[in-house]
């Protein structure tokens, strides 16, 4: 049976731009949008390997594990 990777879902709604997820991600799948009044993480789904480190790292629950 083929193993499917479950990538987390992401919402930037509660993001406080702490960049913990960016530092935690082993695949550089999370980028920063960093303007003076407009800062949040951006999830680039394509590079993600579904390790869920971002889910564990984000203090605001922006990443959710997909069951
Ligand atoms: S699940 Fe892993 S690879 Fe995917 S965005 Fe989160 S930390 Fe990066
Ligand atoms: S860890 Fe969470 S709050 Fe911090 S930058 Fe990433 S998504 Fe935003």
pLDDT digits (tens, 9 = 90+) for 1-35: 667 889 999 999 999 999 999 999 999 999 999 99
* CATH code for the domain in which residue 35 is found: 3.30.70.20
- Ligand 1 residue neighbourhood (C-beta within 6 Å): 7-8, 24-27, 29-30, 48-54
Number of domains within the chain: 1
Domain presence at residue 67: no
User: Tell me, what's the pLDDT at 2?
Assistant: 63
Domain presence at residue 37: yes
User: Tell me, what's the pLDDT at 4?
Assistant: 84
How far is the centre of ligand 2, averaged over its atoms, from the C-alpha of 36 (Å)? 17
pTM of the model: 0.92
How far is the centre of ligand 2, averaged over its atoms, from the C-alpha of 1 (Å)? 34
The sign one gets for the Cα dihedral 50, 24, 64, 11 is negative
Range of the structural domain that residue 45 is part of: 9-62
Angle at 20 between CA 55 and CA 5, to 5 degrees: 35
- Ligand 2 residue neighbourhood (C-beta within 6 Å): 15-21, 41, 57-60, 62
Domain presence at residue 4: no
The sign one gets for the Cα dihedral 20, 8, 44, 37 is negative
Q: Which atom of ligand 2 is nearest to the CA of 58?
A: 1
Structure tokens at 17: 């731009």
Domain presence at residue 45: yes
């Amino acid at each position: 049976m083929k193993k499917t990777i479950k990538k987390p879902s992401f919402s930037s709604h509660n993001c406080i731009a702490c960049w913990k997820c960016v530092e935690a991600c082993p695949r550089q799948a999370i980028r920063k949008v960093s303007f003076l009044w407009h800062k949040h993480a951006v999830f680039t789904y394509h590079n993600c390997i579904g390790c869920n480190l971002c889910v564990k790292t984000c203090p605001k629950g922006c990443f959710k594990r997909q069951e």
